[in-house]
Structure 1
Amino acid sequence: MKFLLITLITQLPDPLTGVRPTATERFRDVIDTAVLAEELGFDGYGVGERHERPFISSSPPVVLSHVAARTSRIRLFTAVTTLALLDPVRAFEDYSTLDHLSGGRLELIIGKGNGAAQRTLYHVTPEDQWDRNREAYELFRQLWRSDRVTWSGRYRPPLVDAETWPRPLQQPIRVWHGSATSRESVDLAARYGDPLFSANVSNPIEPYAELIDHYRERWAHYGHDPADALVGAGTAGYYAARTSQEAIKTWQPIFEARQEAFRRIGVEPVFTSVEDAVERSSALVGSPQQIIEKVQRYHERFGHEVIHLHADRDGLTAEQHRETLALFQSDIAPALRSLIPSRPFPGSPS
């Protein structure tokens, strides 16, 4: 199994102290955590893309370029690239450049994106967002693979024998499709033989499992070898300690503060207590052995080879954050790598 840390770069008050970091402090923390992730042995580091508060992750290529300069081995992910909002030509130019700056360590997770405010900002509607995502991806895919492209579509001007520069380093790049609630992203991934990354954050396991089942069904429908399907999945939170009692004691006030924050903005949480979240959500909270067993249970349903953990401290002290990530790599990751085989990332020996 492979392990990523992912951040959406929220700019929120610390759930325990109430202190809101500046944008500069948040970006510095994102970069420092990426360096720590490589130091500890994580396989990848991902940066999301959002264009509305409380997120400041509107420019993942810029952030990941800085991560690329500060690291040398770790794979760099977008989580997700919101192609439904973007001009695919501009997106290609940014990510082709980043592909070179990172030495070919880039992987994309694409999706339509979430949030009414960012749809309004980019003049995208709920009715056309999936068509925009599909069309943008199809053009992006052509641009990455072909030196000259002739194309026409609905949402941007046509291209006639167009050249785009720089040409990318990786040929082709691996593109994952982010999946949360809709079959459209699942079908698009299966149609093109691309891997799927399930959000697996907000709800219990079954809605995500059903979408992954549908992905595998459509994968076969489009004539791909079932053995080649590749799935990743998110987690709703992470905190490991030597005992489950210690882990829950530390994570409970953080969980409760986040629950209250959801309620203040009118979102009723799905999981009613910390015990409910540990039992029914994908949150990995407990002793190393408990976390290993939980990931195995999810793997039995998903068949996934990659998982992500939240990169942010989210109420932990810097020392607690480092310690729990180090514990994951020392006591959890080796067992899961042994129990759940995974294919190598592009350009990696294992």
Structure 2
Amino acid sequence: MRFLAITLIVHRPDPVTGVLESTHDRFREVLDNAVLAEELGFDGFGVGERHERPFLSSAPTVVLGHLAALTRRIRLFTAVTTLSLLDPVRAYEDYATLDHLAEGRLDLIIGKGNGSAQRDLFQVTPEDQWDRNAESYEVFRALWRQDKVTADTRFRPPLKDAEVWPRPYQRPVRVWHGSATSKESVDLAARYGDPLFSANVTHPIEPYAELIGHYRERWEHHGHDPADIAVGAGSAGLYVARTTQEALAAYRPVFESNLAFQKRTGLPVVFETLEDFAARSSALIGSPQQVIDKVHRYHERFGHTVQHIQADAGGLTRTQHRDSLALFQSEVAPVLRRAIPDPPFPWAPSGVRQTPRPVPADH
């Protein structure tokens, strides 16, 4: 099993202290968390893309480009690239450039995105967002694989023997399809034989298990080998401590503040108590063994081989956050790595024709 740390770069007051750090400091925190994730042994670090409050993740290629220079081993993920909002030609140019700078350490998770404010900003409607997502992906996919592309597109000017530069480093880049509750992304992933990443954050396990089951059915319908399926899954929170009691005590102020925020802003409340949240959500809160057992329970339903956790402290102190990540990597991840297989493809640059340059001895 492989493990990612992911951030959407949420920028709102700390749920416990109420302090709102500056935009600059929030970006600095993301960079520090990525370096820490590599130091601790995480396999990937992901940056989301949102174009509305309270997120600062409108330019993931810029953030990931900086992270490519700060890191050497960890794979860099988008989480997710909102192709329904983007011109696929411009997106290809950005990500092909980033992939060269990262020397093939890039994976994409794509999706149509959510949020009415960013739809309005880009003049995308609920009625056309899925068609836009599919068209953008099909053009993006062709650009990565073909030297010249012709496409009769609806949502951008058509392409006729178009050449787009730079040509890619990975041939092709691996693209996961992010899905929360809708089958459209699942269907697109299965059609092209691409891996699926289930959001698995808001609800109990059942709706996500149903979507993954649908993905497996559609995968086989399109004639793909079931042995080639790869599924990733998210988590709603993380705090690992030596005992369950210690973990719940430390996380309770975070949960209660987030619950109050949900009620105050009219967001749907799914879990009314911390105990219910820890038991029935995908949050990994508890002792190392308790967290191991929960990942196994989800794996029995999902068959997932990649697990993401939150990269941000999110109301924990920085010491609590770092200690939790370190305990996860020292006592949880090794057990799960031995028990659950990796995805059915190398965790390495895909189809790279060039040899990556040596890392200088002083790095």
Question: TM-score band (shorter)?
Answer: over 0.9
Deviations 1:252-296, CA, capped at 9 Å, x for gaps: 110110111111111131011000001110000000000000000
Residue 145 of structure 1 pairs with residue 151 of structure 2: no
Of 143-152 and 33-42, more deviation after overlay is shown by 143-152
Q: How much has 1:315 moved relative to structure 2? A: 1.1
Residue 70 of structure 1 pairs with residue 74 of structure 2: no
AA partner of residue 237 (structure 2) = G
Distance (whole Å) between structure 1 residues aligned to residue 215 and residue 16 of structure 2: 40
Residue 347 of structure 1 pairs with residue 326 of structure 2: no
Residue 95 of structure 1 pairs with residue 116 of structure 2: no
Q: How much has 1:347 moved relative to structure 2? A: 3.3
Q: Is contact 2:170–2:349 with CA below 8 Å preserved after alignment?
A: no
Please, what TM-score do these two structures have when normalized by structure 1?
A: 0.98
AA partner of residue 27 (structure 2) = F
Deviations 1:82-136, CA, capped at 9 Å, x for gaps: 0000000000000000000001000000000010000000000111000000000
Q: Which residue of 2 aligns with 1:213?
A: 213
Deviations 1:292-316, CA, capped at 9 Å, x for gaps: 0000000000000001000001111
AA partner of residue 15 (structure 1) = P
Distance (whole Å) between structure 1 residues aligned to residue 215 and residue 65 of structure 2: 32
Q: Which residue of 2 aligns with 1:81?
A: 81
Deviations 1:138-174, CA, capped at 9 Å, x for gaps: 0000001111111111100011111111111000111
Deviations 1:150-204, CA, capped at 9 Å, x for gaps: 1111100011111111111000111000010111100000000000000000000
Q: 3-state SS of the aligned residue for 1:235?
A: coil
Q: 3-state SS of the aligned residue for 1:77?
A: strand
Distance (whole Å) between structure 2 residues aligned to residue 185 and residue 51 of structure 1: 20
Q: Which residue of 2 aligns with 1:61?
A: 61
AA partner of residue 50 (structure 1) = R
Of 143-152 and 111-120, more deviation after overlay is shown by 143-152
Unmatched tracts of structure 2, length 5 or more: 351-363
Q: Which residue of 1 aligns with 2:243?
A: 243
Please, what TM-score do these two structures have when normalized by structure 2?
A: 0.95
Q: RMSD between aligned alpha carbons?
A: 0.8
Of 261-270 and 199-208, more deviation after overlay is shown by 261-270
Runs of 4+ that moved beyond 4 A: none
Residue 47 of structure 1 pairs with residue 47 of structure 2: yes
**What percent of counterpart residues are identical?**
69
| Count of residues in Structure 1 that have an aligned counterpart in Structure 2 | 348
1:214-229 matches, cutoff 5 A: 214-229=214-229
Q: 3-state SS of the aligned residue for 2:30?
A: helix
Q: Which residue of 1 aligns with 2:276?
A: 276
Q: 3-state SS of the aligned residue for 1:84?
A: helix
Unmatched tracts of structure 1, length 5 or more: none
